[in-house]
Amino acid sequence: MIEHNHPILDVAEEEAVIRVLRSRHLAQGAEVAGLESDFAARVGVSHSVAVANGTVAIEIGLQSLGIGPGDEVVVPSLSFIATANAVRRVGATPVFADIDPKTYCLSAASVESRVTSRTRAIIAVHLYGHPADVDVLGALCDESGLVLIEDSAQGLGASWRGKSVGSHGRFATFSLYATKNATTGEGGVITTDDPEIAERARSLRSHQSRFVGRSLQVATNARMTDLQAAIGRVQLSKLDWMQEGRHRLAAVYERYLGPDVTTPYVAPEAVHGYHQYTIRTPDRESLIGRLEAAGVGYAIYYPTPIHLTETYVAANDRLPETETVSNEVVSLPIRPDLTDEEQGAVIAAVNGEGE
Ligand SMILES: Cc1ncc(COP(=O)(O)O)c(C=O)c1O
């Protein structure tokens, strides 16, 4: 079986964990502070706040802006459900917009049609690691008095006009879950250039409930541990070569995959993060059959768009591009340690060679 994804771990992560264990300081401390400064430097922002996962990162970021009951936040439906759940968890309403069928990220025209007098923010998801068009979405936010938020959970390693994702919005969030381009097992980070958001986020991750905007923001424990942060610092130090590996594999796929599948589009302004290498075909069933017969691990992100899940279905109308894309996409292995032989087998299966 060719595994679809797994973390790239070696002796450096093991040594980092042992160092923290021997220090007897397991909870949030110096390693978390170190990860925060490494992360801010990597993304090119002044502040980064480490938290327990990428979902609470969004919740805390929204709370730090005082977004809550009565507010609407425009989000894509082609995303992990966490993007919408985080909005609902703070008491606000997620409003789903359609995607650009080339980048699979939010369509500015669709977003614009969803903006009402209650809209406070837009959450742009850098899906599969391709940046959303933060120029157009940022301009729309400026014109309409809205806040641009980047859900960069899948975006680490990607950039737009030479600036890392996570540095374009008012704040951004990252996930360091085990499948992400860099991992701490579970983990998340909020990045921002706004010192007030950073300060509120630090407070809100550690039970210090406070009034922000119009209402009391009830806080929680969303701290990261030093054990996780120590792993994360090693992962960040390896990110460049892990990203080189992803780009090398993407170039080989682009060259050898046949014309029956659509390979990922890369906008001229973008460096793709290749969190996923997602291809598209109207005949997904046959493709999946060939991958399974060849023992190739694959994934479908996402088989049910969020607006059609049980949790959200009542609230929303149709999103044609999102619904078509979710029926046609398949993500192939692009982990940096995929061997040439494994990649050759994936390509042969996709192309139906030897059938
Ligand atoms: C787009 C997106 N947003 C949010 C999240 C939530 O991150 P976490 O799983 O760390 O809570 C994820 C994680 O998969 C994601 O892909």
Q: pLDDT digit string (tens) for 67-112?
A: 999 999 999 999 999 999 999 999 999 999 999 999 999 999 999 9
Other beta carbons within 10 Å of 354: 7
Q: How far is the CA of 177 from the centre of ligand 1 (A)?
A: 8
Contact 154 CB / ligand 1 (< 6 Å): yes
- Residue 175 pLDDT level (bands cut at 50, 70, 90): very high
- Residue 52 pLDDT level (bands cut at 50, 70, 90): very high
Spelled out in words, what is the top-level CATH class assigned to the domain 239-351? Answer: alpha beta
Contact 276 CB / ligand 1 (< 6 Å): no
Ligand 1: nearest atom to the Cα of 58: 4
- Chain segment 261-295, per-residue pLDDT in tens: 999 999 999 999 999 999 999 999 999 999 999 99
Contact 83 CB / ligand 1 (< 6 Å): yes
* 21-45: average pLDDT: 98
Whole-angstrom Cα distance, residue 291 to residue 95?
35
Q: So what's the pLDDT on residue 210? A: 81
The separation between the first and the last C-alpha atoms of the chain, rounded to the nearest angstrom, is 19
* 108-128: average pLDDT: 98
91: alpha, beta or left? (left if phi > 0; alpha if psi -120 to 50) = left
* 11-228: CATH number: 3.40.640.10
Is the distance from CB of 330 to CB of 279 less than 8 angstroms?
yes
Q: So what's the pLDDT on residue 355? A: 66
Beta strands in the chain (DSSP E): 47-51, 72-76, 93-97, 119-125, 147-151, 159-160, 163-164, 171-175, 188-192, 210-212, 215-217, 270-271, 277-280, 329-332
Q: Take residue 216 and report the two structure tokens written for it.
A: 């009391």
Average pLDDT, the chain: 96
Looking up tokens 């290749």 gives: 274
Are 11-228 and 239-351 the same fold in CATH? no
Q: Percent of the chain, pLDDT > 90? A: 94
pLDDT higher than threshold 70 for residue 315: no
Q: How far is the CA of 149 from the centre of ligand 1 (A)?
A: 14
pTM score: 0.98
Residue closest to 62 by CA, chosen among 188, 185, 172: 172
Other beta carbons within 10 Å of 285: 8
Contact 77 CB / ligand 1 (< 6 Å): no
Domain chopping of the chain, boundaries: 11-228, 239-351
- Chain segment 3-32, per-residue pLDDT in tens: 999 999 999 999 999 999 999 999 999 999
